Amino acid sequence: MATGLVTHPDCLAHVTPAHVHEQPARLALVLQALEGLPVFRYAAPLASDDSILTLHTPAYLDHIRASVPAEGFTMLDPDTDEETFLSPSSLPALFRTVGGVQKAIDLVLSGELTNAFAAVRPPGHHAERELPMGFCFFGNVALGAKYALGHHGLARVAIVDFDVHHGNGTQALLWDEPRALVITSQQMPLWPDTGDVSETGAHDNVVNVPLAPGTGGKAMRDAYEARVFPRLDAFRPELLLVSAGFDCHAADPLSDLAWVEEDYEWLTHRLCDIADRHCGGRMVSTLEGGYDLDALAASAATHVRVLTERSG
Ligand SMILES: [Zn+2]
């Protein structure tokens, strides 16, 4: 069995203003860092409108399409953080990011691969049903869960989101979905200021794991051992999806957790253990945040290297 890497050059064509941390260079450096790893490479296809409409509304999809500028940028989130911009070539990137996650799920569920990493952008875990937010437009990973449940007919899919920011979009999109367990760890307090332990979903299917600023890998490991892995074991997912943001890193400019590459290595191994126990190893990980370019590239390479070791 093998590890897959799903990506597409269109994901580099979504450009953002110079002050925005979410830049094409992030993905370019991740791809460079993954060169030489023993992965099978696949092109991310364009997602269908129908698959995006499983969690977003037709009016929202129309709004996104209509907001693509002929030149320059369109800001889509003036009421939240003024960081979410579309550029003239953004649309294929948005659709290929959703499609890339779906392709990775197809490959893993068909048995062609054990696990896969979707190296795509823009990220997705802040996007809500009708709300672009925090560099995100479509709920890439939440849509992946819906696709695995609907298109592939799975009964239980779990998502683990270890990005430093709360996966508010994933949580909101799957709040009412009892077949999805959403577990998200985040620095708190930190933008977007949601993700309290009291937010548990309509079916006790959401688990929030706040981590205090200034704490490091030891606190993360303790929290995952105490609150994350037992919930995953009790849920017995048939597929594990991961929102892999690497902005908990000590070098990241947007946060104050002090994770290092060894923490991502440990966490990836433990998530593979869960996948081995319940899913026949089936795991699909998708790039979310990570804004120190060197730390992002090194951490993503560590994460994917572990995936390749565990699929061999
Ligand atoms: Zn983040």
**What's the CA-to-centroid distance between 151 and ligand 1, angstroms?**
29
Tell how far the Cα of 286 is from the centroid of ligand 1, in angstroms: 13
The yes-or-no answer on residue 126 being catalytic is yes
φ/ψ of 270, rounded to 5, equals -65, -35
Q: State both tokens at 54.
A: 């499983």
d(CA 43, CA 99): 10
Q: What protein residues have CB closer than 5 angstroms to ion ligand 1? A: 163, 165, 245, 247, 289
pLDDT (0 to 100) of residue 249 = 98
Instruction: Give dist(CA 153, CA 95) in Å, integer.
Output: 22
Q: Which of 8, 14, 126, 303 is catalytic?
A: 126
Q: pLDDT-derived band of residue 81, with 50, 70 and 90 as boundaries?
A: confident
pLDDT in tens, 220-236: 999 999 999 999 999 99
Q: What is the pLDDT of residue 72?
A: 97
What spacing in Å lies between the alpha carbon of 245 and ligand 1's midpoint? 6
- 184 alpha carbon to ligand 1 midpoint, in Å? 11
Rounded to the nearest whole angstrom, what is the distance from the C-alpha of residue 291 to the centroid of ligand 1? 8
d(CA 121, CA 98) in angstroms, rounded, equals 9
pLDDT in tens, 30-62: 999 999 999 999 999 999 999 999 999 999 999
pTM of the model: 0.98
Confidence of residue 69 (pLDDT cuts 50, 70, 90): very high
pLDDT > 90: what percent of the chain? 97
Q: pLDDT tens across 87-127, in order?
A: 999 999 999 999 999 999 999 999 999 999 999 999 999 99
Burial of 90-116, coded b for 16+ CB within 10 Å and e otherwise, reads bbbbbbbbbbbbbbbbbbbbeeebbbb
Instruction: Determine the average pLDDT of the residues in 168-183.
Output: 98
Angle, in degrees to the nearest 10, between helices 140-150 and 90-109: 40
Rounded Cα gap, residues 139 and 123, in angstroms = 8
Helix (H, G, I), strand (E, B) or coil at 107: helix
The pair of three-digit structure tokens given for residue 113, joined into one six-digit string: 């691969």
Q: Long-range pairs for 219-225 at CB < 8 Å and ≥24 separation?
A: 220/185, 220/248, 220/257, 220/259, 220/263, 220/267, 221/263, 221/266, 221/267, 223/185, 224/185, 224/267, 224/270
- Residue written as token pair 């925005």: 20
H or E segment and range at residue 243: strand 239-244
Q: Ligand 1 centre and the CA of 27: distance in Å?
A: 14
How far is it, in rounded angstroms, from Cα 143 to Cα 56? 9
Q: If you measure from the C-alpha of residue 246 to the centroid of ligand 1, how many angstroms do you get, rounded to a whole number?
A: 7
CA-CA-CA-CA torsion sign (170, 172, 173, 174): positive
How far does the centroid of ligand 1 lie from the alpha carbon of residue 167, in Å? Answer: 8
